[in-house]
Amino acid sequence: MEVLDKALEILRAYPLCDSCLGRQFAQLGFALENWERGRAIKTLVHMKLVSEYRSGADVLNDLVKLAKTHQPTRRFLSTVGVKAEEEKCYICGGLLADVEKYAEKAAEALRGVEFETFEVGSSLPRDILEREGEVVKRFLITTGESIKHEINRRIGRELLRRLPGKKVEKLRPNVVVKIDFTTGDVSVLKNPVLLEGIYLKLSRRTSQAKKFGGVKATLLEKLQYVRDIFGGVEHVIHAGGREDADARMLGTGRPVVVEVKQPARYRADVPPLVDSDVVFKPIGYVNREEVRRIKEKAKTDIKLYRALVLSERPLTAEELSKVSELSRRTVVQFTPRRIKRLSPKKKRVRMVYDIHARLVSPHVFELYVRCQGGLYVKEFIHGDGGRTTPSVAEILNAQLDVLELDVLAVE
């Protein structure tokens, strides 16, 4: 049998424990642990060699090599007057004999954390990995698995036994138990909670995250209660775009994900928040990919704005009707002067789909702009000294100032 022949070749060169030998053939056969597979292979090799030895074949040296890591073979050799010494496994040095013991330390490290899913990760001494690589390369092993994979699986299985109701999750576990086999230390990496919701901003003195000027509150501050519910040490927000601090976010609201770092629990009832500044409605848990999708989608979302605009010179209804020329127009904008310190030469191209105006008084008009996400709406209105073109100010040949700005819908 090819497996037995290859196993004997390996054992002639290296003493391997049952797990490390069986791992070289991990992809052959199912529902077997590597130590079971390795023990079975050694047993069959033992039977083959003993039969050949009794038939007069010169296999004593092979029996001695096998006996280094196989007790039945040592017992047989003792009956024929040959003493064979036991040796440590060349690859793991005996580590895999009781690797499950680390599950106890892992379970202790997880005490006090309310989680549902976990994964096990490990860090091994370099010499173990180098020795494993040496064996794999020398014998061109294509049917095996890595020692780290075996260790993580075995400890994970033992943790499942000790922590009923928990599940192993490969892609996005709540927690990752990390075991350093160089130091013996066990640590727990807590992945953040990502809670999606929508928010309305009712105040013109509230920003998303930073306080400046006349800002009296931030959405980030308001959502601290979410962090407290999950017992986290810090929280950040990821919004699908943003509005200026003095602009209200109305209508159906804007999507936002609250990221709670180092949480003490991963499931909780989060009530909505309603106050005079902000409304937040939780929707559900998401993953990191959904956060990226929300941010990318904000660049192409269609948004409806309402602006109250002051004109330096009086306007007539007939003059104001000229703004309809800006419907279905492409707008080119260089970074606004108010934020140009961030990226002074960056150019942005966005689409204006519809625009309508209503005269309130000779110097004041109401403007409704339906446009592609990412348009600097204030600059589209007043022109920003020519840094935005075309603009409402350019069409009306008037100096304009935006008195109020609201986001009415995110489509």
CATH number of the domain encompassing residue 260: 3.30.70.2510
Q: Does residue 156 lie within any of the structural domains?
A: yes
Other C-beta atoms lying within 10 Å of the C-beta of residue 408: 16
pLDDT in the model for residue 344:
62
Residues 172 and 201 in one domain: no
Average pLDDT over residues 317-340: 92
pLDDT in the model for residue 41:
97
Q: Is the pLDDT of residue 378 over 90?
A: yes
Residue 48 Cα to chain centre, angstroms: 51
Cβ atoms of residues 225 and 280 within 8 Å: no
Q: Does residue 205 lie within any of the structural domains?
A: yes
Number of domains in the chain: 4
Chosen domain end from 10, 44, 79: 79
Q: Does residue 145 lie within any of the structural domains?
A: yes
Residues 229 and 293 in one domain: yes
Helix (H) / strand (E) element for 230: namely helix 224-230
pLDDT in the model for residue 405:
97
Q: Does residue 88 lie within any of the structural domains?
A: no
Residues 133 and 179 in one domain: yes
Residues 150 and 71 in one domain: no
Give the three-state DSSP class for 61. Answer: helix
Q: Does residue 307 lie within any of the structural domains?
A: yes
Residues 270 and 198 in one domain: yes
pLDDT in the model for residue 399:
97
Other C-beta atoms lying within 10 Å of the C-beta of residue 42: 25
Q: Does residue 91 lie within any of the structural domains?
A: no
DSSP β-bridge partners for residue 365: 309, 359
Q: Is the pLDDT of residue 341 over 80?
A: no
Q: Does residue 87 lie within any of the structural domains?
A: no
Average pLDDT over residues 331-357: 86
pLDDT in the model for residue 342:
58
376 annotated binding-site participant? yes
Residues 181 and 201 in one domain: no
Which domain, by its residues, includes 285? 193-297
CATH number at residue 354: 3.30.70.3190
53 annotated binding-site participant? no
Residues 173 and 201 in one domain: no
Chosen domain end from 133, 156, 189: 189
pLDDT in the model for residue 343:
61
Q: Does residue 74 lie within any of the structural domains?
A: yes
Q: What is the pLDDT of residues 58-92, one digit of tens each?
A: 999 999 999 999 999 999 999 999 999 999 999 99
Residues 401 and 331 in one domain: yes
Residues 399 and 318 in one domain: yes
Residues 184 and 201 in one domain: no
Chosen domain end from 161, 189, 217: 189
Residues 405 and 310 in one domain: yes
Mean pLDDT (the chain) is 95
pLDDT in the model for residue 214:
87
Q: What is the pLDDT of residues 176-188, one digit of tens each?
A: 999 999 999 999 9
Q: How confident is the model at residue 411 (pLDDT cuts 50, 70, 90)?
A: confident
Q: What is the pLDDT of residues 194-227, one digit of tens each?
A: 999 999 999 999 999 989 888 999 999 999 999 9
Helix (H) / strand (E) element for 247: namely strand 247-261
User: Can you say whether residue 75 is alpha, beta or left, with left for phi > 0 and alpha for psi between -120 and 50 degrees?
Assistant: alpha
Catalytic residues: 244
- pTM, two decimals, is 0.81
Q: Is the pLDDT of residue 166 over 70?
A: yes
Average pLDDT over residues 353-362: 97
CATH number at residue 116: 3.30.2130.30
Residue 32 phi, psi (nearest 5):
-125, 140
Average pLDDT over residues 282-295: 95
CA dihedral sign, ordered 48, 54, 57, 59: positive
Residues 282 and 306 in one domain: no
Q: How confident is the model at residue 253 (pLDDT cuts 50, 70, 90)?
A: very high
